[in-house]
Structure 1
Amino acid sequence: MNMTLQVHSPYDGALLAELDLDSGAGLEEKLERARGAQADWRKVPVAERVERVALAMEWFREHTDEVARDVTLQMGKPLAQATGEVGGLLERAQFTLDIAPEVLAPEILPAKEGFRRRIEHAPLGLVLDIAAWNYPLLIPTNVIFPALLAGNAVLLKHSARTPLCGQHFERAFEAAGMDSLVTHLVLDHAGTTALMGDARVGHVAFTGSVDAGRRIHRAVAERFIDVGLELGGNDPAYVAADADLEATVAGVVDGACYNAGQSCCAVERVYVHADVYDEFMDRARVLMEAYRMGDPLDPTTTLGPLADAGSLEGMARQVEDACGRGASVVTGGSASEGRFFDATLLAGCPNDCEVMQEESFGPLLPVLRVESDEEALAHVNDTHFGLTASIWTVDPERAEWFATGHEAGTIFQNRCDYLDPALPWTGVRDSGKGSTLSRHGFHHLTRRKAIHFRDAPG
């Protein structure tokens, strides 16, 4: 008897789907089909790969409403945001298609008499993508599209909370005539660990927690294959004295509460210059109190339920810890019925409290008043993460000073919580390793292959 995975709505607990786990002969058959499909696909010219992959984009475009609804049902994202995520998938995928011919073209070395030399970007084979639930379309997009364009096939192990999104990716590429080049797998932890040890897997991409990232890194270490790890964040924002407060407060609050704060690059801690602190807090409170919790399918809902019930306890603990160290709750601060947590604004959070040091993954906005740029930067640098950071200022020189003084994958000025597909998405320290997006994302899904031919004598 097959073991199954049950998928429930975080809003009302309704059973959405029950899927058989892949195992045994059935799993082996899928892996062999993927291996065979990749062996043929790698021989297809890049220009033709681009045309074929573009057909899968059309499937998502035509099925936007269905896909967005499934995102909302599975993880609680308000429907308008889920629809926007489909749009983000199409934007990122299109950029990847546009740059693929140039990025994947062989590098022809300068002429050397009697020799032909070039560097090719060879595929890795089967890419295992272990995708997270919080952005269940965008996160796989960062891997699947460049992996396919580079000549790989993808084994997609989606989160147990959002497996229907994995099915949608498989269907999209089947509709494009790319059978077995994207294979959705339903696996438990043991099955996933075993698959990482399979010699047919040439690369592992993972998005998730730091602890899980460490386990995955250890699991593949003896195989000498590369692994991309997009892990947690504790992303800071510094509001300088010259910030445009109307735009700044709107951006920072949205960065903390969009998708109910369930984003690795959400704004997690804020440092506000004393000159604008009071006005910032007044404006932030108004915006935080305007969020409306409810059924994520209701178009008036702007703050959905948390996908992970355990997050409620963790957020309550962080609020209690901060208040025990001298912080105060300006608005919110507690869980509501179901899996909801109020949009919460905290004032006077010391930098050593848990909410300022660890990821929250919920709609929390902890704030600390600072007296200078230098004090703010010292607090910003007090972290074991390094995904993104933002500075809110009209002064480009101040922004450059901030970017030079802080190590993170991305430094923003006057924006946050956004991935530009032309820029590499990467982190430092406990935020992970490797890179997706941009031309550099292709480099982690290919290997350099040197071609060194000597001409025949005569």
Structure 2
Amino acid sequence: MSTHIVDNPYTGDVAASVEPTTPAQLDAVLEKARGATRALRAMSVDERVKLVLRACEAMEKNTDAIARDITRQMGKPLSQARGEVGGMAGRLRHMASIAAESLADIVLPPKEGFERRIAKEPLGVVLDLPAWNYPLLTAVNAVAPAVLAGNAVIVKHSPRTPLCGEHFARAFAEAGAPPGTVQAIFLDYAATEKLVGDARIDHVLFTGSVLGGHKMQAAAKDRFLHIGLELGGNDPAYVAPDCDFDKTVENIVDGAMYNAGQSCCAVERVYVHQSLYQRFVDAVEPLVRAYVLGDPESDKTTLGPIAQPWHPAELETFVRDATGRGAKLVHGGRATQVNGKGRFFEPTLLKDVSADARVMREESFGPLLPIAPVRSDEEALALMNASSLGLTASVWTSDRDRADRLARQLEAGTVYMNRCDSLDPALPWSGVKDSGRGVTLSALGFDSLTRPKALHYRLRF
């Protein structure tokens, strides 16, 4: 494999140049990781908490450099990239704050003459395969809880954002972690799939496409390996007739357009009660038109370029498919450039979108906002569930009981009331159907990174 080059989605210049990890180097990484697991296992949870917090501080000291690497590799506006560093730190600190309680032995009720406990032991070496769209957030979901639980982590980041794995490795080294606690490597897809099958890997967390998830699962076919899969979404929103209208409009547009729509939990389809439908479309249009495309390192830019070279053309096919099935294009719909630079896609508003349009069934991963009217809560619910994906869904209403009734029936890992495109680390992050398997974050996030050990002591005969 030759040197890997990442282009800057705005300038077209080289954003990163990475040498692939050789087989000999990879063997050394794996052996060092095995050694780190023994050192981490010998540390108390409190010592691991302090280690992880020191690593967090090391990354925060380099916020500007890390943010600029993100922006240059995948095009996220610099202000949003800086915000991602803060979001990463918030998730890490939350997991650190609950580690002692979450990893403590479970003491069972007294039984005469016996002591019974359930201990939570680290798995060993965790392979973290994060995504490029939120390169820190998708990585820290594994890195922080894995190390807190006593595991070593090997980060093989996305080919679009390979420099981000290096930032985690350097931060843990600076924090004084045992050698090999967090290491960064770079491999192509074939070598990554081979690594998944390596017996020295004890757990894999993959964040990416549904296709990628299937490939990771197939790569582990000869092993009893439970792979954590954080996959895509086609996340619906329902605007009920009693919503707080202005705030609903503002939040849904932001939820669809933030990070140029390149988010697994972005709002990807909106169902609006017919009593509000035209008013909603009219209110959304000026907000969509107001986005400023341009240099992502400029504070004036609110919508950055599309990260992947092939994706603008694919987004155009989503628009053509929708309009070919009767949808009306209100604004946008085209790949474009700004002053001859960048691979941008116009913020796009579609109305009267039919249920069979691809954009209402598949993950578009772009700044598209397709809207359709519904006559009732029941119709909205049926359409929201009519997808092979189930990551998040949102209900916009002033009636908590309405939101709860719908939430209990929605087929999604997370259901929001009056918010979207967000993640609270105190809550489990998971998907259903083709959106994935397993849990990260929250107290439950430690479960997939530990194994239970039964401690059954007879104290007297």
Q: TM-score, normalised by structure 1?
A: 0.98
Q: Which whole-Å CA distance do the structure 2 matches of 1:400 and 1:25 have between them?
A: 54
For residue 391 of structure 2, what is the aligned residue in structure 1?
387
For residue 177 of structure 1, what is the aligned residue in structure 2?
176
Q: Which whole-Å CA distance do the structure 1 matches of 2:430 and 2:423 have between them?
A: 10
For residue 194 of structure 1, what is the aligned residue in structure 2?
194
**Of 378, 382, 396, which aligns to 2:400?**
396
Unaligned runs of 5+ in 1: none
For residue 339 of structure 1, what is the aligned residue in structure 2?
343
Unaligned runs of 5+ in 2: none
Q: Which whole-Å CA distance do the structure 1 matches of 2:288 and 2:137 have between them?
A: 26
The one-letter code sitting in structure 1 at the alignment partner of 2:271 is Y
What secondary structure sits across from 1:301 in the alignment? Answer: coil
Q: Which whole-Å CA distance do the structure 2 matches of 1:99 and 1:105 have between them?
A: 10
For residue 47 of structure 1, what is the aligned residue in structure 2?
46
For residue 426 of structure 1, what is the aligned residue in structure 2?
430
What secondary structure sits across from 2:269 in the alignment? Answer: strand
Matches within 5 A, 1:213-228: 213-228=213-228
For residue 368 of structure 1, what is the aligned residue in structure 2?
372
Q: Which whole-Å CA distance do the structure 2 matches of 1:344 and 1:16 have between them?
A: 28
**Of 427, 443, 450, which aligns to 2:447?**
443
Matches within 5 A, 1:406-417: 406-417=410-421
The one-letter code sitting in structure 2 at the alignment partner of 1:307 is A
The one-letter code sitting in structure 2 at the alignment partner of 1:400 is D
Deviation at 1:221, TM superposition (A): 3.2
Contact conserved, 1:23 with 1:191, CA < 8 A, in 2?
no
From the superposition, tell whether residues 151 and 331 of structure 1 become closer, same or farther in structure 2 (CA, over 3 Å). same
Deviation at 1:110, TM superposition (A): 2.2
Q: TM-score, normalised by structure 2?
A: 0.97
Deviation at 1:191, TM superposition (A): 1.4
What secondary structure sits across from 2:183 in the alignment? Answer: strand
Deviation at 1:38, TM superposition (A): 1.1
Deviation at 1:16, TM superposition (A): 2.2
For residue 108 of structure 2, what is the aligned residue in structure 1?
109
Kindly provide the CA deviation profile for residues 136-157 of structure 1, in whole angstroms up to 9, marking residues without a partner as x. Answer: 0001111100000000000100
Kindly provide the CA deviation profile for residues 172-216 of structure 1, in whole angstroms up to 9, marking residues without a partner as x. Answer: 100001131001011111211111111111100000000110111
For residue 140 of structure 1, what is the aligned residue in structure 2?
139
For residue 161 of structure 2, what is the aligned residue in structure 1?
162
Kindly provide the CA deviation profile for residues 94-137 of structure 1, in whole angstroms up to 9, marking residues without a partner as x. Answer: 10000000000011122223332211111110000111000000
What secondary structure sits across from 2:389 in the alignment? Answer: coil
Deviation at 1:261, TM superposition (A): 0.1
Q: Which whole-Å CA distance do the structure 1 matches of 2:296 and 2:225 have between them?
A: 40
Contact conserved, 2:194 with 2:219, CA < 8 A, in 1?
no
CA root-mean-square deviation: 1.0
Deviation at 1:13, TM superposition (A): 1.3
Deviation at 1:407, TM superposition (A): 1.4
Contact conserved, 2:394 with 2:417, CA < 8 A, in 1?
yes
Report % sequence identity: 55
Structure 1 window deviating more from structure 2 (428-437 vs 219-228): it is 219-228
For residue 85 of structure 2, what is the aligned residue in structure 1?
86
Q: Which whole-Å CA distance do the structure 2 matches of 1:256 and 1:324 have between them?
A: 22
The one-letter code sitting in structure 2 at the alignment partner of 1:216 is M
Q: Which whole-Å CA distance do the structure 2 matches of 1:299 and 1:216 have between them?
A: 39
Q: Are positions 1:149 and 2:153 aligned together?
A: no
Deviation at 1:376, TM superposition (A): 1.1
For residue 230 of structure 1, what is the aligned residue in structure 2?
230
Q: Which whole-Å CA distance do the structure 1 matches of 2:64 and 2:16 have between them?
A: 18
For residue 61 of structure 1, what is the aligned residue in structure 2?
60
Q: Are positions 1:378 and 2:378 aligned together?
A: no
Q: Which whole-Å CA distance do the structure 2 matches of 1:8 and 1:404 have between them?
A: 44
Contact conserved, 2:271 with 2:371, CA < 8 A, in 1?
yes
Q: Are positions 1:30 and 2:34 aligned together?
A: no
Q: How many residues align?
A: 456
